[in-house]
Amino acid sequence: MTAVDKCGDLDLTAQARAIRDLRDAIALLANDSRDYLESDLEIDPDAQLAGVYRHIGAGGTVARPTRRGPAMRFTSIKGYDDVSVLVGLLADRRRVARLLGTTPAHVNRVIADAFDDALAPVVVHDAPAQEVVHLASAPDFDIRTLLPAPTNTPHDAAPYFCMGLLLGTDPETGHSDVTIHRIAVQGRDELSIFFAPGRHIDAFRQKAENAGQALPITINMGLDPAIFIGACFEAPTTPFGYDELQVAGGLRREPVELVRAKTVQEHAIARAEIVIEGELLPGIRVAEDQNSGTGHAMPEFPGYNGPAHPSLPVMKVTAVTTRRHPILETLVGPGEEHTSLAGLPTEASILRAVDSALPGLVAQVYAHTAGGGKFLAVMQVRKTSALDDGNARQAAIIALATYRELKNVILVDTDVDVFDSDDVLWAMTTRMQGNTDIIVVPGVAGHVLDPSQQPAYDPSLPAKGVTSKTIYDATAPFHMRAEFARAQFADVDPRPWAPNLNFPYLEDGDGVGE
C-alpha cells in the first residue's frame, strides 16, 4: 500500500497523480518555500546561475559549501527575454517523493511497483510543445541565442543542456527508447552528445551509422518529473528494446503523450517545455571543447571536471519547438538532483531483484549521494537466522549484478538508518572487522567517469571503466545479535515540548526500519 504524505487536509497522492507536465509539478510546490523559490533578479547562465544555486540547494558531491534546498526558477536571464530557467526540481528526496505522491522511505518501492502498472505511451495530434516553432532553415536561426544553455563552471567545454531527454528509435527493430546525456552546444545548429558505454540510443546511432544513415532524434526538456525518473532505469531492469516511458505511465496511472516531430521522423514529448529536433550525423565527430580549448568537459556526478572528449557524435538541429514562455530545466552536474535521477531507479531495480531472489530479506536500499546515486548503495537487511549472515552478502552480490555501475555496497541491520551517514559509519566502526567483513571483487566493469577506474591509477586494470567492487558487511553476526543491541530509549513524541521544531520523520511516518 502506497504511503500517503499529508499536508493539512490535502492528499498529495491525488495531487501528484494529477501532474501531467512540468508546470503542474511547479504548481504543486509553488506555495512552499522549502521546495520552491523564484527570483526576477537578472542572472547570467554562464557559470553565475550554477554558482548561485550551489549555495541554495545543489547538495550532492558539489564542492563545499553547498546544501540541499528548494528548487529555484530564474525568470530574468541575461540575453534572453522569453525563457526562464528552473534548476534543482529533483534535488531533494523528500521533494521527489512529494511529486510522486509518497514519502521519502517509500518512494523507491512506489517506483519499483510502477513496473507492474506500466503503460505504453500514446500519440496525440496537438501538443503544447509545438505552440512555437523555430526552423533551423531560417537564416536568423541560432540555438545559442534562442535557448540559454548554462555552463556549470568557468572551465566548462561549452554551454550544456543538462536535462535533455533524447528520444530515438532502433532503425532495425522500430523499438524506441529515452535516455539523458551530456549535450554541448557547438554552433548555430550543431550539438555534440556524450554517450557513456552501453547506452541504448548510442546503439541505435551505431546501427544507423553502419548503414550510412543519420538517426533522427528529439531532445525533450522541461518534463513531468516522473518521465525523467522512469528514463533513468538501465539494463537488466529495462533490457534493450524496453521503452522506459512505460514506467512514467505506471507512476502516473496515465500514458505519456507523444506527438510527431515537425521536421524529422520521430516523436517528441507532447507536453515538454522545449523540444530540439534533428539528426545524429553518420561519421562526423567533433572535440567537445573545440570552441573553448579548456580541456575540461563539465562537472559530472562523481564531483570532478572530467576531460573534454576528443571525438563526439554530432547532432544537426533541424528545428526547435516550444511552449509559449518556455521553462528550460537544468541541473548542477554533481548535485543532489543526479542522486535522485540515477539513485531512485537504482534502488528500485535492486529492490525488485533482491525481493525476487531473497523475499523479505532486504528492508531498505539507499543509493547514497556520495556515489551520485550510482557508485554506493547502503542496504538494510533483516536477519532471522544464522543463514542470513550469508544471505546478506548474497543480496549485495545481487545488487552488484543488477546495477553494473554500482561500485561499493554497505550492509547494515534494521536498527541502522540507511539515510543517516553518521549511523552507517557507526555500524561500520562497531560491527565490522576489515579482515573478515570486507569482500573485494576485482576486475569488474564499472563506469568511465570515476577517475580511479583506469590503468594509470591501478596498473592491474585492463581498461578505463574497469574497477574493483567492494562489499562492506557492517551487520552484527546473528549468533551475537544480543551483544550488539543498541541502547533503547522511551518512545515519546517530543512535539508537545518543542512545537517550533521540525520532526519530519514523525510527520511522514519514515521511521528507521519501516
End-to-end alpha carbon distance in the chain = 13
pLDDT at 4: 39
pLDDT at 199: 86
Known active-site residue 131: no
Nearest to 201, CA basis, from 183, 223, 188, 187: 183
Asked if 192 contacts 312 with a C-beta cutoff of 8 angstroms, the reply is yes
Nearest to 342, CA basis, from 61, 49, 98, 101: 61
pLDDT tens-digit profile of 233-278? 887 888 888 899 999 999 999 999 999 999 999 999 999 999 999 9
How far is residue 157 from each of residues 189, 192, 301, 331, 337, measured CA to CA in Å? 17, 11, 16, 16, 21
Percent of the chain with pLDDT over 70: 96
How far is residue 140 from each of residues 134, 137, 146, 190, 492, measured CA to CA in Å? 10, 9, 10, 15, 67
Choose, from 209, 244, 273, 300, the residue flagged as catalytic: 300
Asked if 254 contacts 226 with a C-beta cutoff of 8 angstroms, the reply is no
Task: Say which amino acid occupies 463.
Answer: A
Residue owning grid cell 528552473 = 86
Residue 128 DSSP code: G
pLDDT at 12: 59
pLDDT greater than 70 at residue 511: no
Nearest to 353, CA basis, from 410, 404, 388, 420: 404
pLDDT-based confidence at 153, cuts 50/70/90? very high
Task: Determine the Cα–Cα distance for residues 497 and 514; give it in Å rounded to an integer.
Answer: 25
Q: Cα 303 to chain center, whole Å?
A: 15
pLDDT greater than 60 at residue 514: no
**Sequence-ordered list of residues with C-beta below 8 angstroms from that of 174, at least 6 positions apart, any chain:** none
pLDDT-based confidence at 293, cuts 50/70/90? very high
Query: Could you tell me the sign of the dihedral formed by the alpha carbons of 122, 128, 131, 134, in that order?
Result: negative
pLDDT-based confidence at 508, cuts 50/70/90? low
pLDDT greater than 90 at residue 315: yes
Asked if 91 contacts 56 with a C-beta cutoff of 8 angstroms, the reply is no
pLDDT greater than 80 at residue 2: no
Of residues 13 and 430, more confidently modeled: 430
| pLDDT, mean of residues 386-395 | 98
What the chain holds in terms of domains, given with CATH numbers, is 6-337 (2.30.110.10), 358-485 (3.40.1670.10)
Residue by residue, DSSP assigns 40-61 as -S-B-TBTHHHHHHHHHTB-TT
pLDDT-based confidence at 139, cuts 50/70/90? very high
Mean pLDDT computed over every residue of the chain: 94
Asked if 164 contacts 181 with a C-beta cutoff of 8 angstroms, the reply is yes
Q: In sequence order, what are the beta bridge partners of 472?
A: 410, 438
Residue 119 DSSP code: -
Global pTM exceeds 0.75: yes
Asked if 57 contacts 69 with a C-beta cutoff of 8 angstroms, the reply is yes
Asked if 225 contacts 90 with a C-beta cutoff of 8 angstroms, the reply is yes
Residue 340 three-state SS: helix
